Amino acid sequence: MTTEMLGIDIGGTGMKGATVNLSDGTFTRERFRIDTPHPAAPKPVAEVAAKIVEHFGWDGPVGITFPGVVIGGVTMSAANMSRHWIGRDAQALLTEATGRPVTLLNDADAAGIAEMQHGSGRDRPGTVVVLTLGTGIGSALFTNGVLVPNTEFGHLKLHGKDAEAHASAKARENHDLSWEKWAKRLSDYMAHLEALISPSLIIVGGGVSKKADRFIPLIKGVRAPILAATLVNNAGIVGAAMASAAPTLQTRRG
């Protein structure tokens, strides 16, 4: 198996890339970031992806994440991105723009793949859900290490609206919530999720997981153990690189 691959993580505010050592999930070169174009339409975003590939002088396959549902390389939704992505063969677009074979997958699924292989989910059996708390709530669901793609649990209804509008890290900032009040919202959300899928483990990722000790101990009424993600914001890049090395990786045990 190739030991080094390039991963690119497309976000609503920034696009980040790095070359990844697949044996341990570490970066082999410093991460490179460019602001996401606004509006985040397909062609400008693809052009930035090409600049990231060029920055690394990369001539092999590339893994790229996308903040939305991805089925067969086609983007079916577009959270915080232009609606022109919906129904677009984004994998073909990015392959053409970069001049490299591209494997495209959902951003939270990529983060989950990385956490299951190199992070808090490593060697964890049963049903594991990885939640990325940021502008929204991304989710990745695994059963005995096998990914069930495109779950989008951030859009479960909670108190009459999408759960991510109530319990994301952005919601905490927007409403100036204390850690205690935000933990109460997370408790409500996770208890609702637990009633639906009965996970053996919940892993919390996203940048806010750096401060996991401030809120995870305050989450109540959830049976499953809750762990902070190990790879934090690097997980998407790492998972994308892993998927580019083995495009079927996202549907099998790591």
- Domains, the chain, ordered by start: 4-109+234-251 (3.30.420.40), 123-229 (3.30.420.40)
Task: Provide the pLDDT for residue 254.
Answer: 35
Tokens describing residue 191: 């208890």
For residue 224, pLDDT over 50 is answered with yes
Nearest to 207 by CA among 136, 148, 152, 141: 136
> What does the pLDDT look like over 92-107, one tens digit per residue?
999 999 999 999 999 9
> What does the pLDDT look like over 44-80, one tens digit per residue?
999 999 999 999 999 999 999 999 999 999 999 997 8
> What does the pLDDT look like over 4-29, one tens digit per residue?
999 999 998 899 999 999 999 999 99
Cα dihedral across residues 74, 77, 79, 80: positive or negative: positive
Q: What are the φ and ψ backbone dihedral angles of 221, each rounded to 5 degrees?
A: 75, 20
Task: Provide the pLDDT for residue 247.
Answer: 65
For residue 1, pLDDT over 80 is answered with no
Contact between 163 and 137 (Cβ < 8 Å):
yes
Q: What is the mean pLDDT of the chain?
A: 94
What residues have CB less than 8 Å from 90, skipping those under 6 apart?
42, 66, 70, 73, 74, 75, 104
Q: How confident is the model at residue 253 (pLDDT cuts 50, 70, 90)?
A: very low
3-state helix, strand, coil in the chain (%, to 5): 40, 25, 35
Secondary structure (DSSP) of 87-118: TEEHHHHHHHHHTS-EEEEEHHHHHHHHHHHH
Task: Provide the pLDDT for residue 248.
Answer: 54
Task: Provide the pLDDT for residue 168.
Answer: 96
> What does the pLDDT look like over 163-221, one tens digit per residue?
999 999 999 999 999 999 999 999 999 999 999 999 999 999 998 999 999 999 999 99
